[in-house]
Structure 1
Amino acid sequence: MTVVIKVGGARAVDPAGALADVATLVSDGEQVVVVHGGSTKVDETLERLGIEPEYVETPSGVVGRFTDEATMEVFEMAFGHLNTQLVAGLQSEGVDAVGLNGVDGKLLYGPRKSAVRVVEDGRKKIKRGDHSGTIKRVNGDLLESLLSDDYTPVAAPPMAGDDDGDVIPVNTDADRSAAAIAAELDATLVLLTDVAGIYEDPDDPETLIDSVETGAEWAALEDAAEGFMGRKVMAAEEALAGGAPEVVVADANADEPTSSALEGSGTHLHASALSDTEEQQ
């Protein structure tokens, strides 16, 4: 079994336990790809440099960072530092890890979005100068070559953005990057975050949703997912639609977080829920 593990970049996430668990999985013969975020690190670096991060809301209600040229430079710097630290951490655990970003070998490739639609003061506008992109292709051959040689890839944005034939690094969402990789490899996707899973009531941990297998359960899940969790549900849907058999949203700070997620903890999203949803439409 191949497992893609996305380690969240939130301040409350301590990656040490996840890295130790990756080492256990690899020693047990599992093929693992690690994908990491880094939004908090980017914001901290922007603050140190005196650059105010700018967040925008899309017409669909998704809030994300607007990545201008200066922010993109900080993004590359922050993610490069995090990637090196995670690779070193895995190597300290005895894992032969290899760091990659989406530009390496065009691991993550697609068109650059130089302009985005946003909502400001209740009005829809076009905001130009963005350095973000949409993943259309994953270099699965590169990942499979590394995995077959017993290397553990540690991947992250930026992605390789096609800008009128030129390739430039551009921002892309880490959850959706992990989803694209899981879909390409037909792998189980584990999204590790700073909560135990997805809750029916986001303010009540006792309302954890254990499993989503039907269209009705998926609709309830989408209604329950708020804020950053909505992005994870979007990523999960893309992974399942692309071929991943299962997506689990679980607590990065739990003991053996990925192993316990694979054994039943967290919120388990199954491809059958999407199939059921499509049949009902």
Structure 2
Amino acid sequence: MRILLWHVHGSWTHSFVQGRHDYLIPGPPHGIGLAGRPWRATETDLSDVDPDIVVVQRLEELSKIPPDVPTVYLEHNTPSAPSKRHPLADWDGTLVHVTHFNDLMWDCGTTRTVVIEHGVVDPGPLYTGELPSAATVINEPVRRGRIVGTDLLPRFEPIDVFGMGTEQMGTGQIGGMGDHELGALHRELARRRVYVHTPRWTSLGLSLLEAMHIGMPVVALASTEAIRAVPAEAGAISTNVEELVSAAGELIADPALALDKGKRAREHALARYGLDAFLRNWDALLKEVIG
């Protein structure tokens, strides 16, 4: 199967192109191409492309696809409010949500919606927890602010914040280490004793699922899809921030407890967010849409 898709969400695409198909990714001037990623995919300029199906992730991509090619729209984001009308409401195509929460909250009218949950390339059980501190991954924490819970991070000190744009947070116990190469980032996360997930209102972050795959115990705000992704036995999940701060402190103080909770987190992540099920579900949907 020849699948045309744009490089929009790098972590999601990294999982998607692990399948057995031919992946065509537009480069300049129509997209960013592979952007240095070592993916088994072909960069195209769209001038001579003949896909079997297109996976669209932004509205502007709809005008760039070849005519009469089967298309699905992948929605990564959570709406700004439960009453928010999706731009493709009442569309005659198929709209795929990455979480059940997003499917619940978007008003898509009569458009057919399907949920295909995330799948993660397993980085392996890297967890050592040798550093008695917390860690989190948040891209652009200063700009996104309360949405991703940046204001809550000082309550979890000592904490290291990784991700794009974290250098803006200055120095001290909360500091950024930039946009790490993925393997290096995983190894750095694995050295911290607990992973903290603070977003109030975003789609489910793949960094949370990757931390669980690594074998990190997690403490997470019980908002959006996190309540489904994080079982209590993996660490702690609550809307009470003080409970989470206390749980993080207990895990940092007790390496054996943290190791046990991390093993449970990894077991859960492998069972619910494994790569095989993700690719299998996408294969089934794409075959169905092509007909």
Please give the TM-score of this superposition, normalised by the length of structure 2: 0.29
Compare CA radii of gyration and give the structure with the larger one. 2
- What TM-score, normalized by structure 1, do the two folds share? 0.30
